[in-house]
Structure 1
């Protein structure tokens, strides 16, 4: 494709994850709202490095790209199953949950129908006074509005970033970077959902059994995810409205108290890991040892001729110990990052901490004309609450953005009923 290719659109959605696929799907039946989705990767695969065959979706399948806003949309998960000719078999095979792999197939199907532009990396965003000018690896776009849905990036301790070794990887790359672990000493860092998923894979025997697994988490223990009904009400649009209206200091304090709803491990997965460790300890002859250390952080790591030498800090006692390992997996989560391609706009976008200033309708504050707006998806947890990155709010947030762009109520976003009393 020629680098001189110029294309024009009403809304350029940068990032082909579920958030922007939802936006494009809801915009598709609106006659005066053209949305073009560009994605830097060659597919819209959903966390492919963590996409085990038995991984379960942690929310209802009704919380798809569109259904909570437009249940009659052709882009619903139910319609995907119908068009694939597997609706009845799906209902029989999955009476209690949906696999993440099947939702990944659904997202790929939606992206194809919506004509998402894959393998197109955004390099720079500028404004010519009347429109956004977006330079990509495949040409140039002119857009009235931008919607940034670039997601989060893997987070890792600073001292690991200078190590370039195939024996060290982030959990997000586990399935495509993971090496055979047979007879190896493995250090796993991180006690959240992805850490537990990696742990179960390491001890499953899929690529052999480690000689020893040392699993450390800086948290007090392997805590269960708070998936209780009242905690789930934090993912209700009415609660998001309440949260956004609070003063900033109150929002920060409240977010800290609600982390259990997004940072724990599902009860089912904890039970699977515990059961497998029991089997390895008592019901097999496997030469396998393990240590699970809570309240312990990886405080240093260096590559040595025979693998890695690390330092573990006990956050309670302050004591440190050294550890050696052949392989290291960092299940250390993700963090929001301001995309480098927005740098040409420089100081035109106020930054608060490590995030943009975001309005109630997900509009990013900037000093340009109101006829050209910037919106953000999955980047407003500080202003919109712990539910911001969750699929539960994807369609509602997309509809909110579309209503804002068009200046009219295309989608009726009624005040949702909620049990928790909010002012």
Structure 2
């Protein structure tokens, strides 16, 4: 019998997980290693683009990455499933049964061994225990959720368009977004971009004047990751579009088509989107004896190894990493996942060579928020500009667009990534501006 292959299992095909398996597959291939990516979905869509998918501004069919084809190209295996438990003693994981839409079993519960395990499952929105959130709100955590929102949005627009045609001049599409971070702000602006164009796509009397969007933030201002001047600039731009921005406003309960605030106000809404905070998925608590935070994130050391097992790493939104000299964990951003994936790759290489692990060093390159085609605001930091610099307008827009291009190169390599960037430009010119089906 031949020598047993080193088996590296990566759970989660988000930005960090997908980049990591590409790096591992590119270095090791299939000869002496068996690299396995596990994800409950069949395709990957970059999470910062989901608000555009939800508004219909982006056709995810053109931008998604199929895990199966990507695996063949980069020398790893893809397994369609979700993680159910981890047995650290036996070094095995168990995946839950995969069911179809009727609840019928496609793939039975499955056990997979590992020599090294990387947990990169991402995060979910934190409902903070507010009653009614899970029952009455929608989320933008993956493509199926974004597609569901887009369909509900289109249905609401069609109903409002028909109501105006039949004499109901008060009809409107009322949307309430809870959470004034990047996702909430970008979605609010993108909705107005979509509404401005719907008249050209068969809705003869519908435009942005039929749209009423409320953006609720519990903190003192929206976009806390940006400095106060930029956050105020974004707020003014949103209000110019027609968004009702409510900061210092606590949501205490959701009901059907209603958002109840701490002041006693009730905001009517056809659609409610919850985009407040990030935590680890609830199922993380059932995985085993890994150390977790109160928000269900996996506690890792500066090497990104879990506190109880050197052979298990965690990265991205599901990981809580407190580096020396910092007063809070690494923020859950796409740039964090990208940098963590690179560090885990290097540490896995070092571990197999018997070399000591290296600590993760986080470089904050700043934050950028796109207000669709209307504006882009943000700050660039660190070695990028030699300090901290505010950016707005077309400069910020160019840098924001470059982030996705860098993501494409990270998961596809330079040549294929550049080719896809060019194809994306062509599609932007020749394809419809909105996906309404």
Instruction: State the TM bucket, normalised to the shorter chain.
Output: 0.5 to 0.7
Partner of 1:184: 173
Secondary structure at 1:41 match in 2: coil
Partner of 2:117: 146
C-alpha distance in 1, partners of 2:52/2:275? Answer: 14
Secondary structure at 1:27 match in 2: helix
Partner of 2:92: 132
User: CA 1:390–1:162 in 2, change beyond 3 Å: closer, same or farther?
Assistant: closer
Contact kept in structure 2, 1:19 and 1:394, CA below 8 Å: yes
Computed over aligned residues only, the root mean square deviation of the Cα atoms, in angstroms, reads 4.3
C-alpha distance in 1, partners of 2:127/2:314? Answer: 24
Pairing 1:400-415 to 2, within 5 Å after superposition: 400-408=346-354
Pairing 1:13-412 to 2, within 5 Å after superposition: 13-28=10-25, 29-30=27-28, 32-47=32-47, 49-52=50-53, 104-105=63-64, 110-111=70-71, 113-114=73-74, 115-127=76-88, 129-137=89-97, 138=107, 139-161=110-132, 164-165=135-136, 168-172=137-141, 173-178=145-150, 179=153, 180-181=156-157, 182=160, 183-204=172-193, 205=195, 208=206, 209=208, 210=210, 212-223=212-223, 225-226=225-226, 273-274=238-239, 276-277=241-242, 291-303=244-256, 307-308=257-258, 310-313=259-262, 319-337=263-281, 339-340=283-284, 343=286, 345=288, 347=289, 349-353=290-294, 354-366=296-308, 373-378=311-316, 379-384=318-323, 385-386=329-330, 389-391=333-335, 392-408=338-354
* CA shift for structure 1 position 134: 2.8
Pairs aligned (count): 306
* CA shift for structure 1 position 14: 0.8
C-alpha distance in 2, partners of 1:118/1:407? Answer: 27
User: CA 1:22–1:212 in 2, change beyond 3 Å: closer, same or farther?
Assistant: closer
Of the structure 1 ranges 151-160 and 291-300, higher mean CA displacement relative to structure 2 is found in: 151-160
Contact kept in structure 2, 1:403 and 1:410, CA below 8 Å: no
User: CA 1:416–1:223 in 2, change beyond 3 Å: closer, same or farther?
Assistant: closer
Secondary structure at 2:185 match in 1: helix
Secondary structure at 2:250 match in 1: strand
Partner of 2:393: none
User: CA 1:291–1:272 in 2, change beyond 3 Å: closer, same or farther?
Assistant: closer
* CA shift for structure 1 position 296: 1.0
User: CA 1:188–1:412 in 2, change beyond 3 Å: closer, same or farther?
Assistant: closer
Higher relative contact order (CA 8 A, sep 6+): 1
User: CA 1:395–1:411 in 2, change beyond 3 Å: closer, same or farther?
Assistant: farther
C-alpha distance in 2, partners of 1:292/1:326? Answer: 17
C-alpha distance in 2, partners of 1:184/1:54? Answer: 13
Contact kept in structure 1, 2:125 and 2:277, CA below 8 Å: yes
C-alpha distance in 2, partners of 1:34/1:133? Answer: 15
Contact kept in structure 1, 2:42 and 2:80, CA below 8 Å: yes
Contact kept in structure 2, 1:11 and 1:36, CA below 8 Å: yes
* CA shift for structure 1 position 102: 11
Higher share in helix = 2
C-alpha distance in 2, partners of 1:54/1:162? Answer: 21
User: CA 1:134–1:415 in 2, change beyond 3 Å: closer, same or farther?
Assistant: closer
* CA shift for structure 1 position 302: 2.0
